[in-house]
Amino acid sequence: MTLAANPPRNTPWSRTISVLRDVMSRPSGAIGLFLVAFHVVLAIVSPWIVPHDYKAMNSAMMLTGPDAAHWLGTDHLGRDVFSRVLLGGREALLVTGIATPIAVTWGGFGGILFGLIGGRVDEVLMRVVDAFLSLPWILKMLVLIVTFGTGIEVLIPTLAFFYGIPVIRIARAATHDVVARDFVSAARARGHSRLTIIRRELLPNVLDTLMVEGAMRWSWMLLAFSSLSFLGFGVSPPTPDWGLMIADARGFMSFAPWGVLGPVIALSSLIIGINLTADALAKALGIDRAQKAPV
């Protein structure tokens, strides 16, 4: 008698590989993952491959056009634009790469908890969330940044806090679709605690939504970080940063556009890559990104 082979276990690792294959099988996902991976690898290796010192100033080479020595020309201080573009994504990826998981974690947990509790408590807490969302994000973040400073130790928790608030609504909406199902009612009947229900019953069923939402928050957080740098509230000179480079070169666009084009193309390609990846990930996981969160 021949025993049947054991069916393969659907482990988290095997599911991750399956989802990645599905994303890569889509043209948008393949292009998006390539762009994201390219920028991440470039941020890691750029200090060893830049052709010039990003801080080196040369008054005789100010605002010179692209040539064999300076592929993207020089800026108003005679610094090599190409070297600064290569290094310009390091701070943005570091800050947002840490802040995004924090935002999705605390916002996701809050949304799941609100959806599980329900009732009047849920309604009151969601009105508080609505009050936060009604204010322009730039004003909210500038208040904290002006108060506490512009260092990375301030930017990371600031971005994580304000970009975690919209995640609450998404996680709550996903939880509402799950919390009324029989297995959640059975867990409540067995006397399981709320944390146990969240960990065993709710989180596995909303994790896909949070993953897609995290990818989208990453792209928006990159835009926010670059906007803050553009306004002078991000990284401090002479640190190379795309937003700061655009701010420094915008006054010379009429006769030296390369100082703006380089960082704009770099930032745009990264954000496009993240959005393409998020879109392909949503399709691979069967997530409807157009679905509205209930109030």
Instruction: Give the per-residue pLDDT at 1.
Output: 39
pLDDT in tens, 46-78: 999 999 999 989 888 898 889 888 899 899 899
Is 9 part of a structural domain of the chain? no
The more confidently predicted of residues 42 and 190 is: 42
Is 141 part of a structural domain of the chain? yes
User: What's the CA gap between 36 and 273, in Å, rounded?
Assistant: 6
User: What's the CA gap between 81 and 193, in Å, rounded?
Assistant: 57
Task: Show the domain range for 79.
Answer: 23-59+68-285
Q: What's at 267, amino acid-wise?
A: L
Is 4 part of a structural domain of the chain? no
Q: For position 147, which CATH number holds?
A: 1.10.3720.10
pLDDT in tens, 94-130: 999 999 999 999 999 999 999 888 888 888 888 888 8
pTM: 0.88
What is the percent of the chain with per-residue pLDDT over 70, rounded to a whole number? Answer: 93
* Mean pLDDT for all residues in the chain: 87
Look at residue 4 and tell me whether its pLDDT is greater than 90: no
Look at residue 11 and tell me whether its pLDDT is greater than 80: no
Is 133 part of a structural domain of the chain? yes
Is 219 part of a structural domain of the chain? yes
Main-chain phi, psi angles of 243, to 5 degrees: -65, -40
pLDDT in tens, 196-231: 888 888 988 899 899 999 999 999 999 999 999 898
| Overall average pLDDT of the 226-238 stretch | 86
| Overall average pLDDT of the 17-40 stretch | 92
Is 216 part of a structural domain of the chain? yes
Is 17 part of a structural domain of the chain? no
Q: What domain count does the chain have?
A: 1
Is 207 part of a structural domain of the chain? yes
Neighbours of 18 (CB within 10 A): 12
